[in-house]
Each structure stands twice: as structure tokens, then as C-alpha cells.
């Protein structure tokens, strides 16, 4: 892939202080093959090649470059890097059976082959753009539907390996930045309320069971008996309420703790700019502090909060190893991560 390509997470104009990204995943199976829990190794290989063979036609139809590969043949660190950038799941990376990936040049569209289902189409957009993500996923789905026969029931809808996905086969997901709700201790109560509305909370990045960076995903739970538009509208209501509560919490937190918060923000910048070794959990905490400062107007960043979200993705272990071609030794990774942040951290100045 071209290093000069603007990836989906680099788009500044779509930046939202609370909603980091919007994504849609569609689970599909092909009628001519057994489901993944029963498929033979020969059929798994044949399925991968059948779907991958459509890559050139898809690229021509979309008027953009698409790439494909056999995931099970990739080096482990390359798989880990794809997981860190949300291009594939940890489940696909761990597959021993034949598996594949088709991905757009800007990485906004990915098609996983032979994960839990034969095909999983994912489309992701920066910021609060769920309808754009759905339109992209739906368009790619129509292409594959015109070339292959899906397993579909007039009564139940799309048939999937997991009964939790039967129906639309759709999972809509928002990634949210929720520092105020986390710091205030209100997140668990909010999480319980969201669950009553059919929304599921998960940590986006965690270490030893602890959330890193105040980033959480919020997804729909129900796929059967609802339309795609109903899923989006229901999730939109949940996210809209969460966004309002989070923004009010940020204002109150800064008003009540202005000097302390401002000091932490600028200390965070100093450490990130000059550290020689830095652990992932520390880097994520400091970047989250900077993003909070940027979003609340305490500091002005050259690339805004969007650059900080990008850095949160790029400093994950496998990406650092890939970028610097360093070994897997922990100290070596921490040194390389610190160097990366020293060089890539955007310039900031006091906004007052």
C-alpha cells in the first residue's frame, strides 16, 4: 500500500470530540458452502480464492485501489498490526484454516473471509457518520450479492454462524471518547442504562483488564426483527444522549478543577515530547489527557484532536515494531514508541 495515501483516520474535517468513529459490519454466508464451524479445509481454501478473485472487479467498480491477501499466511506481527488498526479481528488473526482479507487503500473498507462467517464486510468512517458507513457497507454488500448466492431465509433473513447475528447480520458500532464519564465514576450506571436500550459497551483498547485512553465502543445487540435503519436510529439515540452527558461533564470538570486539569494537560505534553522510554498504558493516558485539553479548549493543537486519535492507533506494539523494524523486546518497543511520539506529536500552544 502507498504510504502517501490518506487513511480514513487521518481525515481532519470529520473530527468529533466525542464520537471517534462510526462503523458497520455485515455478516454473510454463501449458500454453496457449509458454515465455518463445519467447513472442510479444502472448501475453506476454495472459498478464499473465490472471494479474493473478485478484488480487481471490486476495485474497478469503486474506482479505488483494493488489495487482498491470505491472512493465515501472513507473519504474526503483520496480523497483529492489522488487528490494531481495526482492519481484522483477533479471531481472524488466530485462524489456522485458510482465511483472507480484501481491503481498500484508505483502509475504510475491509472484507474478512472465513472469520466466524464466510464474509464479513466492514466500513468505517471518522467522526459521527454512521449513515455514510452504512451506505459504503451496503454498496459493497450489493456487489458481492450480485456475484454470489447468499444463505438467506425469507423468514429469518441472513443466516449466520451465530444466532446473535441472524436477521440483518448487521452490527453498527460507535467508538466514543468518554473521559468525563470515566473520571466521574458515572460510566457503569450509564452503561447499564444503555444496555436497557439494546446497546453493548466494550473497551476499545485495554491492558490487564483496564481501559486505556477512555475509548469505548457502543454497538447494537439485536439483529433479528429489526431493519438496518431501525438499528441505526436506536443506536443514534443512545449515542446522542451519551454525547450530551459527556460534554456537560467535561465543562463541569474543567470549571471545578481548571488549574489542576490544565497543569496535567501540559505535563502530559512535556512527557510525550521528551520521554525516552514509554509504556503503552502511560502513553495512552497522556494522549487522552491531551485530547481532553484540546477538546475543552485548554490547548491548541496543530492537528487537533484527530491527530491524537491517530497516534493512539499508531503507537500500539505491532505497529511500532512494523514502523521501526525493531524486535519484540519490551524495552526496545518502549524506546521506539517514545521516539515516535517525540517526532509525531503535534505542536501545541496555550489558547489563552
Domain CATH code at residue 16: 3.30.590.10
Q: What digits encode the pLDDT tens for the residues 88-142?
A: 999 999 999 999 999 999 999 999 999 999 999 999 999 999 999 999 999 999 9
SS3 readout for the chain: CCCCCCCHHHCCCCCCCCEEEEEEEEEECECCCCCCCCCCHHHHHHHHHHHHCCHHHHHHHHCCCEEEEEHHHCCHHHHHHHHHCCCCCHHHHCCCCCCEEEEECCCCEEEEECCCCCEEEEEEEECCCHHHHHHHHHHHHHHHHHHCCECEECCCEECCCCHHHCECCEEEEEEEECHHHHHHCCHHHHHHHHHHCCEEEEECCEECCEECCCEEEEEECCCCCCCHHHHHHHHHHHHHHHHHHHHHHHHHHHHHCHHHHHHHHHHHHHHHHHCCCCCHHHHHHHHHHHHHHHHCCCEEECCHHHHHHHHHHHCCHHHHHHHHCCCCCHHHHHHHHHHHHHHHCCCEEECC
Is 79 inside any structural domain? yes
pLDDT band at 3 (very low <50, low <70, confident <90, very high): low
The pLDDT tens digits for 248-296 are: 999 999 999 999 999 999 999 999 999 999 999 999 999 999 999 999 9
Is it the case that residue 337 has pLDDT exceeding 50?
Answer: yes
Considering the domain boundaries, does residue 241 fall inside one?
A: yes
Q: Does residue 122 fall inside a structural domain?
A: yes
CA distance 322 to 78: 8
Let me know whether 127 and 35 are in one domain: yes
Share of the chain above pLDDT 70, in %: 98
What pLDDT is recorded for position 2? 42
- Grid cell at residue 172: 453498527
Please report whether residue 352 resides in a domain. Answer: no
Looking at the structure, tell me whether residues 38 and 154 fall in a common domain.
Answer: yes
* 236 & 87 share domain: no
Q: How far is CA 244 from CA 78, 127, 135, 189, in A?
A: 39, 15, 26, 15
83 CB-near residues (< 8 Å, 6+ apart): 89, 90, 93, 318
Per the structure, the count of domains in the chain is 3
306, 311, 251: which is closest to 286 by C-alpha? 311
Residue 177 CA to its chain's centroid (Å): 12
pTM for this predicted structure: 0.93
User: Are 140 and 79 members of one domain?
Assistant: yes
8 A C-beta contact, residue 133 and residue 22: yes
Percentage of the chain exceeding pLDDT 90: 88
Question: Do 46 and 131 fall within a single domain?
Answer: yes
Between strands 170-177 and 299-301, the pairing is: unpaired
Q: What is the largest CA-CA distance in the chain?
A: 65
The more confident residue out of 207 and 332 is: 332
Q: Which residues pair with 150 in a beta bridge?
A: 30
Q: Is 88 found in the same domain as 221?
A: no
Looking at the fold, whether 230 and 281 belong to one and the same domain comes out as no
- pLDDT, average across residues 56-70: 97
Q: Are 136 and 123 in contact (CB under 8 A)?
A: yes
Together in a domain, 12 and 153: yes
Q: Which residues pair with 122 in a beta bridge?
A: 25, 110
Alpha-carbon distance of 48 to 69, in angstroms, equals: 9
Banded model confidence at residue 305, pLDDT cuts 50, 70, 90:
confident
Say what the pLDDT of residue 349 is.
65
Residue at which a domain ends, from 150, 167, 184: 167
Is 1 within the bounds of a domain? yes
Give pLDDT, residue 1: 37
CA distance to 93, 169, 210, per residue, from 36 (Å) = 15, 15, 32
Position 229 in a domain: yes
79-89 pLDDT tens trace: 999 999 999 99
What is the pLDDT at residue 348?
Answer: 77
The C-alpha cell that represents 61 in the structure block:
467498480
Note the pLDDT of residue 4. Answer: 60
pLDDT higher than 70, residue 352:
no
Both 47 and 161 in one domain: the answer is: yes
Whether residue 324 sits in one domain with residue 287: yes
Q: Which domain holds residue 223?
A: 173-254
**Which residues face 203 on adjacent strands?**
216
- What is the tens place of the pLDDT at every residue in 163-209? 999 999 999 999 999 999 999 999 989 989 999 999 999 999 988 88
One domain, residues 248 and 274: no
Kindly report the backbone phi and psi dihedral angles of residue 187, in degrees, each rounded to the nearest multiple of 5, phi listed first.
Answer: -65, -40
* pLDDT band, residue 217 (cuts 50/70/90): very high
Q: What pLDDT does residue 158 have? A: 97
Residue 31, in any domain of the structure: yes
Residue that is last in its domain, among 202, 228, 254 = 254
27 is a domain residue: yes
Instruction: Out of 114, 145, 167, pick the residue that ends a domain.
Output: 167
Computed over every residue of the chain, the mean pLDDT equals 94
| Shared-domain flag, residues 265 and 153 | no
Amino acid at each position: 500500500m502507498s504510504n502517501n495515501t490518506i487513511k480514513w483516520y487521518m481525515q481532519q474535517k470529520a473530527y468529533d470530540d466525542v464520537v471517534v468513529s462510526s462503523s458497520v459490519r455485515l455478516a454473510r454466508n454463501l449458500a454453496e458452502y457449509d458454515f465455518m464451524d463445519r467447513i472442510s479445509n479444502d472448501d475453506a481454501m476454495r472459498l478464499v480464492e473465490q472471494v479474493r478473485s473478485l478484488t480487481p472487479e471490486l476495485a474497478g467498480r469503486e474506482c479505488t485501489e483494493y488489495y487482498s491477501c491470505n491472512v493465515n499466511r501472513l507473519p504474526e506481527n503483520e496480523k497483529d498490526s492489522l488487528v490494531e488498526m481495526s482492519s481484522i479481528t483477533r479471531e481472524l488473526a488466530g485462524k489456522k484454516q485458510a482465511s483472507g482479507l480484501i481491503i481498500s487503500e484508505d483502509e475504510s473498507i475491509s472484507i474478512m473471509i472465513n472469520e466466524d462467517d464466510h464474509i464479513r464486510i466492514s466500513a468505517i468512517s471518522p467522526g459521527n457518520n454512521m449513515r455514510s458507513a452504512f451506505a459504503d457497507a451496503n454498496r459493497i454488500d450489493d456487489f458481492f450479492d450480485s456475484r454470489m448466492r447468499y444463505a438467506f431465509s425469507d423468514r429469518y433473513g441472513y443466516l449466520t454462524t451465530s444466532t446473535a447475528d441472524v436477521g440483518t447480520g448487521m452490527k453498527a458500532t460507535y467508538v466514543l471518547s468518554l473521559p468525563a464519564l470515566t473520571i466521574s465514576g458515572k460510566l457503569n450506571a450509564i452503561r447499564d442504562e444503555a444496555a436497557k436500550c439494546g446497546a453493548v459497551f466494550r473497551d476499545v483498547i485495554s491492558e490487564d483488564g483496564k481501559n486505556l485512553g477512555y475509548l469505548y465502543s457502543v454497538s447494537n445487540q439485536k439483529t433479528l426483527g429489526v431493519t438496518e435503519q431501525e438499528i441505526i436510529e436506536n443506536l443514534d439515540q443512545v449515542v446522542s444522549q451519551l454525547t450530551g452527558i459527556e460534554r456537560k461533564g467535561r465543562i463541569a470538570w474543567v470549571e471545578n478543577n481548571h488549574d489542576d486539569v490544565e497543569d496535567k494537560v501540559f505535563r502530559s505534553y512535556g512527557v510525550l515530547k521528551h520521554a525516552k522510554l514509554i509504556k503503552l498504558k502511560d502513553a495512552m493516558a497522556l494522549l487522552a489527557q491531551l485530547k481532553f485539553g484540546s477538546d475543552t479548549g485548554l490547548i491548541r493543537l496543530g492537528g487537533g484532536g484527530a491527530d491524537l486519535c491517530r497516534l493512539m492507533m499508531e503507537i500500539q506494539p505491532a505497529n511500532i515494531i512494523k514502523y521501526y523494524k525493531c524486535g519484540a523486546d519490551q524495552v526496545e518497543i518502549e524506546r521506539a514508541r517514545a521516539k515516535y511520539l517525540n517526532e509525531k506529536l503535534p505542536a501545541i500552544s496555550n489558547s489563552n
